[in-house]
Every structure is written in structure tokens, then in C-alpha cells.
Homo-oligomer: A and B are copies of this chain.
Amino acid sequence: MSDLVHFEDVRVGDVRRFGRYLVTREEIVEFAREFDPQPFHLDEAEARQSLYGGLIASGWHTAAMLIRMVCEHAIPGSATSGAAGFDDLRWIKPVRPGDVLSVETIVLDKADLPPRPELGTVRVQSRVLNQEGEAVMSLISLVLYRRRPPEPEGPARVA
């Protein structure tokens, strides 16, 4: 028997808190240069003139930081096979240089995935928190969990 948490083992309502991600100005600008070159992610002076009043991380960068913490802390020990997508992503507060982020997850519900009987879908709400405990981002992920393989057939056991 595998020690991994499979679909059958996931409990609705389970809450987990994990991760610690220090957000640096260098990483904000580097990510923005590669993927999201909007002025309020690139340049402090231009960002000060923007809606955001100063340099902020790309929301997609915050999402990438979240998945990094998930990969480090939540996926090990779990029989997951990626995710089908997610819903209701909201960037709630800006993420700024010097912020320290962490994650809180809660299992919302579980469902069969009829076309793939070896898998099940688990809906997990994740919130990214800053060092003040304020949520900066939230989303609901549709995580694919593998089911436990059927027990091999053997001689009937006597109770």
C-alpha cells in the first residue's frame, strides 16, 4: 500500500497552512520582463503614478509563487496528477517587494471524473496570505487525485 494521500483519503473540510515566500523587487521585475511587462510591474517611478501607487508583482507571478509553495509543501505525499483548471481567481490586494507570503488551503468537495475512472477531482480553495495575515489572492483549484489501485486478488481471508 502506498503512503501517498489518494482520492479516497482526501477529507472535505481539511485545512492546511504552509509555505514562506519572500517577494523581492528583483524577482518582480524579472518575471514582469519575461511575461507581464506592464509599467506598474517594471518601474518604481511609473508604478507610483499608476492606480497601484508603487511597484507590485504581476498577479500571474503571485499565482506562480503559490504553485511553487504548493509544489514544495502540498504535493509531496499526495497522489496528484496536476489540475484541470481553476475558478474564481481574485487578486485582492497588491503584492509588494518585501512581502512574505504563505498559503492556506481548504478542501471544498470531491467528485468522480467519469471519463477517467482512475482519477477523481478535488476542489481546493487556496488563499495566499501576506505577513499581516491578509489575503492577497484566492482561487479554487480543480485538483486531479489518483485513486488507490484495486487490491490484487488473492485467497479469501478468514475473518
Total copies of the chain: 2
A82 within 8 A of B: yes
> A112–B34 Cα gap in the complex (Å)?
32
CB of A91 to closest CB in B, whole Å: 5
Interface flag for A98 (CB, 8 Å)? no
CA distance A63 to B61 in the complex (A): 10
Name A's interface SS.
mixed
Q: A6-14, A35-43, A102-110, A127-135: which lies at the B interface?
A: A35-43
Q: How far is the CB of A102 from chain B (nearest CB, A)?
A: 16
Residue of B40, B67, B89 touching A85 (CB-CB under 8 A): B89
A-B contacts, 29 listed (Cβ < 8 Å): A34-B64, A34-B68, A35-B64, A35-B67, A35-B68, A36-B64, A36-B67, A36-B68, A36-B71, A37-B68, A38-B82, A51-B81, A51-B82, A52-B82, A59-B82, A59-B83, A59-B85, A60-B63, A60-B64, A60-B67, A63-B63, A83-B91, A84-B90, A85-B88, A85-B89, A85-B91, A86-B89, A87-B87, A87-B89
